[in-house]
Chain A
């Protein structure tokens, strides 16, 4: 098997995550789909690191993980405060700024 297959898997996972962001309306599930996309990117970085024979790709994947952790903390805090004020986690309900 050629290691390129890992890249195809990563593209597939990224696509599924992107479609999930478009389809789902529960804010938590949308957020999980974003995490799935980040993970797919990480897999691609790791495979590219193997391809080029240096560790830079793994460093980038590591930074992605750290940024994802920070993003999850703030995002979930936003979802919790949104749920407190509206009693719903649906992204459709937060349409106060719509014309």
Chain B
């Protein structure tokens, strides 16, 4: 890598790395734009950023390569994922265009802009590459530190002020003032009683000799099933199994059979 940095013409290894990883980076960027769900976009962007970190390393920016992995893919993308989870993973973009022809014109503008950029680079005089061998001679991190704390020290201090401002700004933006006093435990319990809610623990589901599943409602004294005894989720799905009538019909069938047998025995006795 050290050798490749200094050459005007890169080594074959770096060229191979560029063509393979560059393709993946472009695919990742396209997926960031085109994926419907924000989570997929975020993951594709993280992949592109890691590849960019490899390119920084290949270009002799050893410190920046590591910072790219730690700060961008580590901190910033995690922040993005946090917000995506907060906002809702399932929230997908609606595909309906609100402005007519917006997509087409955006694509046209993008392609035009890209052509302009590429034409500009192609026309620029970029024949000579000095390479970083001399600049990195004393170590990349040492060289950067020497520049930051001498030539760019003012910008560095302003950056510190910017970071503090943004941290306070984020706190102010997401902070929500409580508009009313928090209720005490006593007030909460009094409210529960006055609302007429079910206060004691809910009754247990029914237990039979054949069924002891939670989806079977317990029976009230008059024999009707009580929906309160079944889990709220099952109640909402309508998955309550009612075996009380089943048991009654079983009993009826048993009585029928026994009377038939008794009748036959009586006939035989005659």
Provide the A37-53 mask, 1 if CB < 8 A to any CB of B, else 0.
Answer: 00100110011011111
Inter-chain CA distance A78–B174, complex, in Å, is: 8
Do A55 and B135 touch across chains, with their CB atoms under 8 A apart? yes
**Complex interface residues of chain A between 50 and 82 (CB less than 8 A to chain B):** 50-56, 58-59, 61-63, 65-74, 76-81
CB pair B98–A70 under 8 Å, yes or no, is no
State the interface size on chain A (CB cutoff 8 A): 71
Any chain A CB within 8 A of the CB of B209?
Answer: no
A63 B159 Cβ-Cβ under 8 A: yes
Interface of B is mostly: helix
CA distance A35 to B197 in the complex (A): 51
Chain B residues lying within 8 Å of A12, measured Cβ to Cβ, are 26, 29, 114, 118
A6–B18 alpha-carbon span in the complex (Å):
8
A interface, CB within 8 angstroms of B: 1-9, 11-20, 22-26, 28-29, 31-33, 35-36, 39, 42-43, 46-47, 49-56, 58-59, 61-63, 65-74, 76-81, 83-84, 88-90, 92
Are B166 and A71 in touch, CB under 8 angstroms?
A: yes
Check A20–B67 contact: CB distance below 8 A: no
Residue of A nearest to B148 (CB): A59
CA distance A9 to B14 in the complex (A): 14
| Contact indicator A26/B93 (Cβ below 8 Å) | yes
Chain A residue at smallest Cβ distance from B76: A72
Report the separation of the CA atoms of residues A47 and B91 in the bound assembly, to the nearest whole angstrom.
38
Known: A6-B59, A47-B59, A73-B79. A16 touches B29 (CB 8 A): yes
B87 & A73 in contact (Cβ 8 Å cutoff): no
Tell me the complex Cα distance, A65–B157, Å.
15
Whether B64 lies near A1 (C-beta < 8 A) is: no
Asked if B26 and A16 make an inter-chain contact with CB atoms under 8 angstroms apart, the answer reads yes
Q: Do residues A80 and B18 form an inter-chain contact, with CB atoms below 8 A?
A: no
Out of B29, B94, B176, name the residue touching A13 (CB < 8 Å). B29
**Shortest Cβ distance from residue A7 to the other chain B in the assembled complex, whole angstroms:** 5
| 16 additional contacts (CB under 8 A) given A51-B130, A74-B170 | A3-B59, A3-B129, A9-B55, A11-B117, A13-B25, A15-B110, A29-B41, A33-B33, A49-B59, A50-B59, A52-B130, A58-B64, A58-B140, A73-B79, A76-B80, A78-B173
- Report how far A52 CA is from B33 CA in the complex, Å: 33
8 Å CB contact of A90 from B9, B52, B94, B151 = B94
- Which one of B42-50, B221-229, B255-263 is at the A interface? B42-50
Number of interface residues of B (CB under 8 A): 85
**Nearest Cβ on chain A to B25's Cβ, whole angstroms:** 7
Q: CB-CB < 8 A to B147: which residues of A? A: 55-56, 59
Asked if residues B132 and A9 are in contact (CB atoms below 8 Å), the reply is no
Contact check, A62 vs B59: say whether CB atoms are below 8 A apart: no
Give B74-86 as 1s and 0s: 1 = Cβ < 8 Å from A's Cβ atoms. Answer: 0110011001101
Cβ contacts under 8 Å, B174 to chain A = 77, 80-81
Quick one: which of A25, A55, A78, A81 contacts B144, CB cutoff 8 A?
A55
Q: Which residues of B contact A11 (CB under 8 A)?
A: 114, 117-118, 121
Known contacts A20-B32, A28-B80, A29-B38; A39 and B134 CB within 8 A of each other: no
Whether A23 contacts B61 by the Cβ 8 Å rule is: no
Most buried by A among B18, B131, B166: B166
